[in-house]
């Protein structure tokens, strides 16, 4: 479906994204119905769970004027839990933290918009805190059998600009994620436009059997302070997840598979301006054993990014990478990862494998190789171009030791730099499975 993307197509997509900012009023929008969306063409290894029809409705009236609608939204979820639909068809403000992890068999019909208040002092103290990478959240949604759908018109606005401005002054500012699915067993998020997250757009944590589809994500700064860490989706301690048929214009990972992400499918995405569809980072925390296994990345397009396909793990020694991002020395493995039918348009690297993430001292990394094993990695039917940044090199696959990297395979990979070059940096692993690669040392 998304096999080829011309420059005109990308321009058209980005033009469409520019109209995503909702008008601030409290008018009523048409209620959207739950769509019948299935994982296609691939699922995560098991079928989507059955979700019975809902039998009651709770419509939330908005206060308007930037007043906090969180208490009314919470009340509606209590009333319509266990078999109902919460209707959000107006313009809402969420100004207080909202814990919705008690849900059971409930839908959310979002044809209006949700905007998070820009009270940084409040959110720093009261947002939900996660130990992993100092993540925080405005709200969290969990439970069983929850479907959130927007029919292509519903909007979640993270109101990120004040946070990016604040981060420019204080790089230790912890910025919330726009939407966290935490402990959700069976559910979906479809047809929603998300704009300007303070941090990541989405985190799927401690969840299983999740379908994400038909989303439009865009992050744009209105001044010199750039968008920061706007990952499209991060998966964490989650199993059987499908992310598909969506458009993402951001500045960090389009999708990132964090620790203990298993049986994941990513298909039909158009990503622009990101850091790639990435495994990791992993091995950050010494006391943890990280696994990413059985990930299938199929029929996607990546443009104007630092990487298209990326695997990043920390070395076996502690590294100070950023003010709120440091680590190394953790253990675990990455196994059975497939990138298939993947178009690269003007990305700095078509493929990057890095076992020294966060550590610029190559000698130190080789003295303390990663405790993370990377194996059974497949690159099949990749084509397109890189940027001129690393010309003549188009990809880099650098392991910290051959004992920790093995069974790499590539077939029908046709990537060139703007000048037609196609050199690959390959080191510390057996390259015999890389069909047609012209490998050079770094």
Pairing mode of beta strands 135-137, 128-130? antiparallel
Query: Does residue 47 have a cis peptide bond before it, meaning omega lies within 30 degrees of 0?
Result: no
Q: Where are the beta strands (DSSP E) in 250-288?
A: 255-257, 261-272, 277-282
DSSP bridge partners of 41: none
Pairing mode of beta strands 135-137, 113-116? unpaired
Residue found by looking up tokens 């040392």 in the block:
441
Active-site residue identified among 145, 157, 252, 290: 252
Q: Is 27 a catalytic residue?
A: no
Active-site residue identified among 182, 253, 275, 290: 275
- Using an 8 Å Cβ cutoff, are 85 and 110 in contact? no
Query: Does residue 337 have a cis peptide bond before it, meaning omega lies within 30 degrees of 0?
Result: no
**In three state form, how does the secondary structure of 326-375 look?**
EECCCEEEEEEEEEEEEEEEEECEEEEEECCCCCCCHHHHHHCCCEEEEE
Name the 3-class secondary structure at 14: helix
Give the span between the Cα atoms of 229 and 64, in whole angstroms: 30
Q: Is 50 a catalytic residue?
A: no
> Distance of CA 101 to CAs 129, 140, 180, 286, 343, Å?
14, 6, 10, 29, 38
HSE-CB of 161 using CA atoms within 13 angstroms: 8
Which are the catalytic amino acids? 252, 275
């Amino acid at each position: 479906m998304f096999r080829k993307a011309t420059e005109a197509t990308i321009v058209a997509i980005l033009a469409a994204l520019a109209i995503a900012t909702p008008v601030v009023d409290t008018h009523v929008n048409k209620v959207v119905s739950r769509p019948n969306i299935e994982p296609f063409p691939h699922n995560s290894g098991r079928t989507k769970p059955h979700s019975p029809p809902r039998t009651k409705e709770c419509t939330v009236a908005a206060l308007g004027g930037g007043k906090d609608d969180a208490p009314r939204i919470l009340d509606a979820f209590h009333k319509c839990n266990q078999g109902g639909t919460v209707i959000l068809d107006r313009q809402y403000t969420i100004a207080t933290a909202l814990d919705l992890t008690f849900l059971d068999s409930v839908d959310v019909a979002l044809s209006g918009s949700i905007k998070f208040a820009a009270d940084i002092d409040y959110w720093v103290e009261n947002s939900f805190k996660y130990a992993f990478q100092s993540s925080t959240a405005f709200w969290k949604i969990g439970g069983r059998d929850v479907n959130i759908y927007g029919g292509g018109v519903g909007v979640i606005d993270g109101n990120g600009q004040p946070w990016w401005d604040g981060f420019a002054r204080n790089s230790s500012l912890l910025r919330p994620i726009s939407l966290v699915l935490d402990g959700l067993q069976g559910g979906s998020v479809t047809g929603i436009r998300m704009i300007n997250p303070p941090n990541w757009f989405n985190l799927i944590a401690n969840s299983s059997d999740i379908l994400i589809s038909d989303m439009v994500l865009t992050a744009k700064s209105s001044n010199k302070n750039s968008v920061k860490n706007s990952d499209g989706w991060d998966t964490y301690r989650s199993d059987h997840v499908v992310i598909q048929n969506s458009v993402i214009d951001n500045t960090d990972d389009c999708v990132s598979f964090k620790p203990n992400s298993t049986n994941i499918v990513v298909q039909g995405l158009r990503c622009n301006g990101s850091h790639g569809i990435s495994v990791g980072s992993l091995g950050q925390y010494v006391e943890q054993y990280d696994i990413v296994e059985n990930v299938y990345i199929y029929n996607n397009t990546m443009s104007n990014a630092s990487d298209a396909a990326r695997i990043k793990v920390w070395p076996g020694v502690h590294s100070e990478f950023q003010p709120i991002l440091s680590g190394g020395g953790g253990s675990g493995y990455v196994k059975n990862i497939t990138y298939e039918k993947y178009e690269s348009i003007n990305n700095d690297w078509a493929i990057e494998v890095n076992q020294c993430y966060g550590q610029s001292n190559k000698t130190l990394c080789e003295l303390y190789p990663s405790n993370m094993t990377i194996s059974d990695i497949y690159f099949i039917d990749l084509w397109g171009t890189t940027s001129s940044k690393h010309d003549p090199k188009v990809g880099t696959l650098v392991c910290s030791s051959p004992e920790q990297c093995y069974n790499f395979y590539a077939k029908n990979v046709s990537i060139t730099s703007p000048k037609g070059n196609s050199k690959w940096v390959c080191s510390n692993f057996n390259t015999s499975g890389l069909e047609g690669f012209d490998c050079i040392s770094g």
